[in-house]
Structure 1
Amino acid sequence: MTQPHPTPEAPQVTVRGEGRLEVDPELARIGVAVRARGTDRTTVLAALTSRNADAIALVKSYGDAVANLETGALSVTPEPARHGRGERVRGYQGWVHLSAELTDFTALGELTTRLADLEWTRVDGPWWALSPDSPAHAEARRQAVKEAVRRAREYAEALGSSLVALLELSDTGLAPGMPAPVGGTRMAFAAEAVESPAPLDLEPQRQTVTAEVAARFVMSPPAL
């Protein structure tokens, strides 16, 4: 559709509007990697399977606090001998990566601590985020639109004019809060602890949600 061209009788004003919110996170994501190492492939696979099952069972024991649990990459790698010729193998090591998403932050500190206390298990995170359908996204967009209208009206009033119609409104960029790798915690233990450690006290990281729109309006003829 061809947009009308501005004329002295129907001048136009184009503005940008921005919305910005600081909100509490709704999700916490953690990464879990279980490891096994040994000289025999079958033994390594058995240990890896057992440790992976223990980690999954522990995460699932937190019920509704865990919104999502996924198994990522699996790796079993031979370790070549340091000396000698040929394809001699001195051992094997394997990894299984898990990712979990929690909505209940009261359980987060305890779960991450207990996971890190498992044998040959590494925990990364947490990374804080908003859910994709968070109301914060819509609120930021509403703020951006209101800001665009306010700016356009101020320009029109400065000319002794007023807004007549909206010609175009476009979303120029939306940047919702994302998992923030900076400040994440990494915990790794290679042996079983004698007693369970105290849960970590993890403070949620505030999320920034921004929205930006471009709007074009028709104005009444200005009083110049």
Structure 2
Amino acid sequence: MTNGTAEAPLLTVRGEAGIETDPEVARVGVSVGAEGLDRRQVLDDLTRANTLALDLIASYGDAVERVSTGGLSVAPAFVLDDRGQVMGYQGRVHIGVRVTDFTALGELVTRLAELDLISVEGPSWELRHDSPVPGEVRRAAVREAVRRAREYADALGTTLAALLELSDEGGRAARPRAEAAFAQRTRSVSLGQPAPLDLELPQLWVEAAVVARFTLRPPSLDA
């Protein structure tokens, strides 16, 4: 780390910035589960429910950006301690869905939740990996660091001379979930009222911080 001198005083400042923005992507997790006494029947039920879910998701076309399927598992569910006899089987497979058309999201989640052997988690909200928003926030954090440094320099009656170092302190984007809204939808389905889930888009808080180190032109400290 460079130390300041009387001829080149060192000034270190922190710049922070944050912005609220609309989400760009919604993630929905779909779990397909089946259980029974016969392994083959469990596998057949699991395959059938998984196919129905995938077909439904595919019917939404470009509203769905990407679908990913996790590994399928079928395993013994219960074993008697004395003989080790298998009493039943459980099977599960997970489907991940990325949705970019939020006008179709509520209906898609609702229809998935109505399928047999299906449970739905989400949505969770994100920005795209190539979203310009984090870059805008980082630039704002740099501008804030420069502004603060100039204020300190001005208070000393001098100006900034050179930038020695700029480090990224990181940042994060808030990703709120809509669990409460989905819980309400689950109760509605059980009561035979299959109205599409009305999702309210949250605001994501994106923040960034930098630390900047400058040298100053030697100030005059005479009173």
Q: Scaled by the length of structure 1, what TM-score is found?
A: 0.89
Q: 1:180 to 1:217 in 2, by over 3 A?
A: farther
In the alignment of these two chains, the number of paired residues is 219
Does residue 200 (structure 1) correspond to residue 197 (structure 2)? The answer is yes
Q: CA deviation at 1:34?
A: 1.2
- The aligned residue for residue 77 of structure 2 is 79
Q: State yes or no: 1:157 paired with 2:154.
A: yes
Contact 1:6 1:12 in 2 (8 A): yes
2:20 to 1, 22, 28: 22
Whole-Å separation in 1 of the counterparts to 2:159 and 2:56:
63
AA aligned to 1:172 is E
Partner of 1:110: 107
Q: Percent of counterpart pairs with the same letter?
A: 52
Unaligned 5+ segments in structure 2 are none
> Does the 8 A contact of 2:176 with 2:204 survive in 1?
no
Match of 2:44 in 1: 46
CA distance in 2, matches of 1:68, 1:78: 32
Match for 2:60: what amino acid?
Y
Indicate whether 1:97 and 2:98 are aligned.
no
Equivalent residue for 2:136, pick from 125, 135, 139? 139
Cα contact 1:13–1:217 (8 A) shared by 2: yes
Distance 1:187 1:76, change over 3 A: farther
Shift of 1:145: 0.2
Note closer, same or farther for the CA distance 1:90–1:187 as it changes in structure 2 (3 Å cut).
farther
Change beyond 3 A, Cα 1:10–1:81: closer
Aligned to 1:36: 34
Query: Would you tell me which structure has more helix in proportion to its own residues?
Result: 2
Q: Distance in 1 between matches of 2:31 and 2:185?
A: 9
- 2:12 maps to amino acid: T
Report the more deviating stretch, 171-180 or 25-34. Answer: 171-180
Distance 2:213 2:192 in 1: 65
Stretches of structure 1 that go unaligned for 5 or more consecutive residues are none
Distance 1:59 1:187, change over 3 A: farther
